[in-house]
Amino acid sequence: MRLVRRTKAPATLHRGFVTPEGVDLRLELGGAGTRAAAFLIDLGAMLIVLILATIALAYIDRSTGADIAKILWLIGAFLLRNGWFVLFEMGGRGATPGKRLMGLRVVARDGARLTAGAVLARNAMREIEVFLPLSFLGAQAAAGTADAFLTIFALLWTGIFLFFPLFNRDRLRVGDLVAGTWVVQTAIRALAIDLGTATERPRAMFPEAALALYGVYELQTLEDVLRGGDPVAIGAVAATIRRKADLPDHGDDAAFLADYYTALCARLESGLLVGRHRRDKFAG
């Protein structure tokens, strides 16, 4: 189930996605202030790590009397400021510690899964946007050769990129534009009932070919539809599954989807027991 972005531009930070089955899923974009706060939290955490590493390397420098500690510090600082964002955003939560504290996560704008390439692209741009000019200024100041024009230019360069999200409706960094990503607000929800045990009536049986159509991603989308309870969305999804699986229509779309959800869930779980994990309908 690939999600497709609506063409009409909403006036708020809520964005709509419509699946091929006609299901409208809505996301709330992270505000500029919330994203800035998350970035500052991450910078603070990185600074603590850098201070601890500096203390350790200073001890090494005194012990060896060589410049190896300075070289290690420069390499470590570069890896930290880039690896921090990349490694955390490649995780299952798609968020750094700062983003998690502020209730944010990174997602792909086309509704597909967030790829490693997109994460690398958006964070490589941060090096150009922020860290590179600031590192240049720091090196110039340390050497005592800072030039007023270059200082103003570097500060203007960084400022333009820092305030760029304020001047576009989706609150995108340049890195988000390049990588095709959004930073969205995560919804905190209470645990809902288990859809697999929500009814006591007999469950319908489905042929293997009907259950082999979808994977985990479609199962999660189907769960969202059932929990949403929208009759139009339920009817559209039920009709799509019946058409693709060549199944009869007995008139109760909600019961049909609940039964199909339970059967598909059981099939995917049994596959996991023998090492088969099907991420989505495109996987073999």
pLDDT in tens, the chain (284 residues): 444 444 343 447 777 655 444 455 677 888 888 988 999 999 999 999 989 988 888 877 776 656 777 788 888 888 888 889 999 999 888 899 999 999 999 988 877 778 899 999 998 888 887 777 777 666 666 666 667 777 777 778 777 877 888 888 888 888 898 898 989 888 655 444 555 555 555 567 888 888 888 888 888 888 888 888 888 989 999 999 999 988 988 888 888 888 888 888 888 888 777 677 777 777 76
pLDDT of residue 153: 75
CB atoms within 10 A of CB 166: 10
pLDDT of residue 104: 93
d(CA 281, CA 240): 14
Buried b (16+ CB within 10 A) or exposed e, 53-62: eeeebeeebe
Alpha carbon of 90 to those of 216, 245, 257: distances in Å?
Answer: 19, 35, 33
Q: What is the 3-state secondary structure (H, E, C) of 83-134?
A: HHHHHHHCCCCCCCHHHHHCCEEEEECCCCCCCHHHHHHHHHHHHHHHHHHH
pLDDT of residue 251: 85
pLDDT of residue 11: 47
Q: Residue count of the chain, please give it.
A: 284
pLDDT of residue 1: 40
Contact 231, 262 (CB under 8 A): no
Up-side HSE of residue 74: CA atoms within 13 Å toward CB? 9
